[in-house]
Structures are given as structure tokens and as C-alpha cells.
Amino acid sequence: MCGRYAASRTTDELVEQLEIEADHTAPPTSGAGGAEGAPPRWVPQYNVTPSQEVPVALTRVPRGRADGGEGEGGAADPATDGTAPVRQLRLLRWGLVPSWAKDPKVGMRMTNARAETLLTKPAFRRAARSRRCLVPADGWYEWQTSPVATDAKGKPRKQPFYMRRGDGAGLAFAGLYEFFKDPGAAEGDDPWLVTFAIVTGPAEPGLDRIHDRQPVVLDPDRWAAWLDPAEQDPDVVAGLLRPDRPGRFEAHPVGRAVGNSRSEGPHLVEPVGMQELEGVVDPATGEILGA
């Protein structure tokens, strides 16, 4: 947890929602070495999976380079010229690769970072102090293990659920990002890889009937402090991850198509009918649904 989520908003919508000052998700123009009229680098998706590049908001002090001086190319960045921290929207790969890793494949095992050990675990503690980000989403998926029903192989049946805000507003997961210089990069390729992980915490009452963990969703009043690279007090950082008021989210069972990473489309988040449920626990009441 969290291993799948939906992110259907366009970059223009994310710029407005997250109060972004500099959008770096668009393809380069012909004047910067790219093709004029090139298709967007981000296409909204309903089934985001680890290893994909997705929009992430972060705040950095520009240093005359697109990466703030720590990798990610090194192209001039006139849009963020200056010394004040700038809130940016960038495309980062999901699955954090620590700077000291020997192989970038380690990122597939670090898609999530537990809030309880964020500031002490070697893979995350440096990023937790000064490289925090927001991961925009519509909602996330989780699989509930049935306490009564089994599948054709005799194993507990698993039912996918979709969680979202009850008011329909977009989400912002707490995240961390890190720079990794790949020693195995081919000559001429950019060796810098910028990756992120989603912070998770204990599931709130109700959602814990689906899974015992959930992403840490930060409301707007915590965004500025979470993104501020100058805020490195571990107590403050930990405080920003404290559980928020319960009841912000709703959940409903969805079709099994979401389990296929190649499945895509808004139908993935639509509720399934009662006739498709078997041994499913209602997260609101605890009642067993389906024969």
C-alpha cells in the first residue's frame, strides 16, 4: 500500500489546484531542442503503477539549472531564475532510488515509505528532512482480503476497492523524492534519475476494513510546510504527518480489471453491482456483502 492510484487531472488543472509557480511537465519547444507541437509528456490516467513517470509537486531553490543543481539534466531554467524557493510541477518516476543505491531497480521495492520510520530509515531519512513532495491524485486502490470467501485456487478472495474524498476534491499524497546518478547510464544519456515514494500511515476507521495502511493525504493547510526545504526539524516534519480528521474519504468496490496494469479508463473507478460481490466486508458497517 499504496500500489495503484488514479490521477485524471490535466497538468493545467494541477497547476491551479496545487498553486504551482513553474510547470516543467511540458515537452521542450523546438527552440530548446524539442519538436514544436509535440504531444504532452503526461497523459491523465486511472491506473497509475510503480515505475511510471507522473506529476509531482515540489519546492526548490533554483540554481540556474532545471534540477536545482543536483541532477536531472542541467539545462538552463530561465523560468525559475532567482533565489527564492519555487513551487514546481515535474514528472518523477514512482519508486524511490536512494542516492547510495548500486542498482536503480531497488526503486521497485520502495514505492512507499512508512510514516512511523520515515526519519530514521536510511533509505528515506535524508529525503524526509529536505526533499518532500506532493503527489496529486483523484483516489487510490486497495485490495480487501475476504474473511469468508475463497477463489478457484482455495485462497482468500481479494476484492479491489477505490478510495476518494467524499467531497470529490483532488488529493495530495505526502511524498519524498531523491536524486540518483546511474553509473550504468549509456554514454550521451542523462545519468540522473529523480524518483519518489508515497508516505503511508495506519488506515483510519472504516478504511481499515479494506487494508491496514493508507496514503497520508495532506490538506492544503499543510502543503507549504511539507514542501518547504528549509523546514528540517524532525519534530515538525513528523507533526505534519499526524492523522487528520477521520471521515474525509469514501470507498466502494470496483471491477477486477484494475488488477491488470494495462487496463485504463474511467470505468476502473466505477462501483460494481452487488451481484459481483462475494464475501466482501462493507467498510462502513462491517457487514458481509455477497453470498
More confident residue, 131 or 66: 131
Asked whether residue 211 carries a pLDDT value surpassing 50, the answer given is yes
Task: Write down the pLDDT at residue 80.
Answer: 40
Task: Write down the pLDDT at residue 144.
Answer: 97
pLDDT tens string 126-166: 999 999 999 999 999 999 999 999 999 999 999 999 999 99
- pTM tops 0.75, yes or no: yes
- What's the rounded Cα separation, in Å, for the pair 46 and 138? 9
Question: How do the residues of the chain divide into helix, strand and coil, expressed in percent and rounded to 5?
Answer: 20, 30, 50
Catalytic residue among 72, 133, 142, 178: 142
Asked whether residue 81 carries a pLDDT value surpassing 60, the answer given is no
Catalytic residue among 2, 72, 133, 178: 2
Asked whether residue 67 carries a pLDDT value surpassing 80, the answer given is no
Domains of the chain in sequence order: 5-25+39-148+167-247 (3.90.1680.10)
Nearest 10 degrees: Cα torsion 120, 126, 132, 135:
-70
Q: Look at residue 47 and give its three-state secondary structure.
A: strand
- If phi > 0 it is left, if psi is from -120 to 50 it is alpha, else beta; for residue 218 that is beta
248 is written with which cell numbers?
Answer: 474525509
The answer to whether 2 is a known catalytic residue is yes
